[in-house]
Amino acid sequence: MKVEHETRIDAPRPLVWSVTVDVERWPDWTPTVTDVARTGEGPFGVGSVARIRQPGLPAADWCVTSLVEGERFTWETRVRGLHMVATHELESSGTGTRNVLRVEFHGPVATLFWPLIRMSVRKALERENAGLKARCEGLAAEGHVAHARS
């Protein structure tokens, strides 16, 4: 079971990528995340873990399972009978970037509550993409080439 949302962002892919992988700053631009704390040091990559808090959901530890620098990363979590796999994928589109957010659901909870999960996750992905678009387009308008990671 999968939910996907895409948007076009009028900002170059390197800038969108830098904002995307700066996960600890997500609460600054998306209402779907209230807190993110990386549990390790070093650059964001395969094996990186972040504890994410979202409105109305229990905190979840997301572990990066694959990453292609500048293009996409996938991370996974397991919470109460639910295995989620989320992918953030970027593709150059003219002078901008096509951003695709995808979440796959596995497990008994997903099967049982799929209609509710699908609707709420679709709205969350739309809101996350809207926040990312606004953040990146704002930075691009200010002349940023890439957003510095902290």
Residue 96: Cβ-neighbour burial (10 angstroms; 0-12, 13-18, 19+): buried
Asked if the model's pLDDT at residue 147 lies above 60, the reply is: no
Instruction: Identify residue 52 by its one-letter amino acid code.
Output: I
Torsion angle in degrees (nearest 10) through CA of 22, 7, 139, 62: -10
State whether residue 86 is helix, strand or coil. strand
Instruction: Specify the length of the chain in residues.
Output: 150
Domains of the chain: 2-141 (3.30.530.20)
Q: What is the pLDDT of residues 79-122, one digit of tens each?
A: 888 899 999 999 999 989 999 999 999 998 888 888 888 899 99
How crowded is residue 139: how many other Cβ atoms within 10 Å of its Cβ? 19
pLDDT category of residue 146 using cuts at 50, 70 and 90:
low
Higher pLDDT, 137 or 118: 137
Q: pTM above the 0.85 mark?
A: yes
